Amino acid sequence: MAHDTQSALRVELARAKVNLALHVTGQRPDGYHLLDSLVAFPQIGDRVALEPAAGLELRVEGPFARDIDGPSDSNLILKAVRAFAECAGTPVPKVRLTLTKRLPVASGIGGGSSDAATTLRLLEDYSGNYLPEETLHDLALSLGADVPVCLYPEPQRMRGIGDELAPGPQLPVCGIVLINPKVGVSTPDVFKNMSQRDNPAMPELPGRFNSVVQLTEYLSECRNDMQDAAVSLCPEIGNVLSAFDVDSRIAFSRMSGSGATCYGVCELRDAMDIERQLRTAHPGWWIASGSLS
Ligand code: C5P
């Protein structure tokens, strides 16, 4: 966490959450789906800044600012602040949060969830009020099924409805390219559109992947069980995956979450050049690249 001691400004990268694999293994009576997912957090994300202010304030800027609820009470960042204060038994903190929205919204890479989780971490640091781990986890879960995993931006295996977390394998040094065709996909609609809900779990995970080849071999044995349903709702996802297919430097590609964002894994040295070429070929798409971990 970056601190500026003069202005007491705290700044954090709210990393994108990428489901390298996403198996849907069942459904609970309340309708929520059971998942088995390998999650990674590349060095690509929104920026969240916190500083003291006269009262609680949220500013939203950045390329996707217009696509989200700004000061409305339904914004996940403001919900996180209020829920944190209630849990900690303190008044609502007088802070200004500035969100620089760089990730596309409703895009399967957990942007809103990561913003909320990052806000909780910033509030802990600002107030010195560190909640017990279980309390923080439950608070995060009350904000959304993907928020707990975003509290720990490192490789994780996520099960249950997203609430059962275990450390994931160490990932190799490698690059990742993210593409979103700038079409929002509704997560509940994709879940509803799935034809099969009780699929096999992920194969056993090793403790580490030593190379892009090893990671690719493992991921080839896995699936994203939401991908077909998402492609049928948003055929442009198929075009994104085809664009990855034609670049031989992309070792592996798949959709993340409920889409429409897809990821491609490559050697780190190739990531920026692949991004540049894809941008030229597809100026209407959102494309980002960086280190996978
Ligand atoms: O928890 P969150 O608000 O992120 O979930 C959005 C929607 O996605 C839920 O209302 C639910 O319809 C669906 N969902 C699901 N199973 C999950 C997570 C989300 O069916 N494990």
More confident residue, 159 or 6: 159
Asked if pLDDT for residue 191 goes beyond 70, the answer is yes
Please tell me the residue having the least CA distance from ligand 1 atom 9: 188
For position 72, what pLDDT does the model report? 64
Q: Tell me the pLDDT tens digit for each residue of 68-126.
A: 865 566 699 999 999 999 999 999 999 999 999 999 998 999 999 999 999 999 999 99
Asked if pLDDT for residue 6 goes beyond 50, the answer is no
94 is catalytic: no
C-alpha 145 to ligand 1 mean position (Å): 6
Catalytic residue among 36, 46, 115, 146: 146
The ligand 1 atom nearest the CA atom of 191: 20
One domain for residues 141 and 33: yes
Contact 158, 164 (CB under 8 A): yes
For position 7, what pLDDT does the model report? 62
Q: Nearest CA to 268 among 241, 248, 292, 288?
A: 292
One domain for residues 67 and 84: yes
Buried b (16+ CB within 10 A) or exposed e, 248-274: ebbbbbbbbbbbbbbbbbbbbebbeeb
With cut-offs at 50, 70 and 90, classify the pLDDT of residue 1: confident
C-alpha 190 to ligand 1 mean position (Å): 10
* End-of-domain residue from the set 113, 140, 167: 167
- Ligand 1 pocket (Cβ < 6 Å) reads 32-33, 35, 144-146, 161-162, 187-188, 191
At residue 207, φ and ψ (nearest 5 deg) are: -75, -25
Q: Tell me the pLDDT tens digit for each residue of 127-154.
A: 999 999 999 999 999 999 999 999 999 9
Write the CATH number for 98.
Answer: 3.30.230.10
146 is catalytic: yes
One domain for residues 60 and 193: no
Q: Quote the domain boundaries for residue 33.
A: 2-167
The ligand 1 atom nearest the CA atom of 31: 20
Please state the domain count of the chain.
2
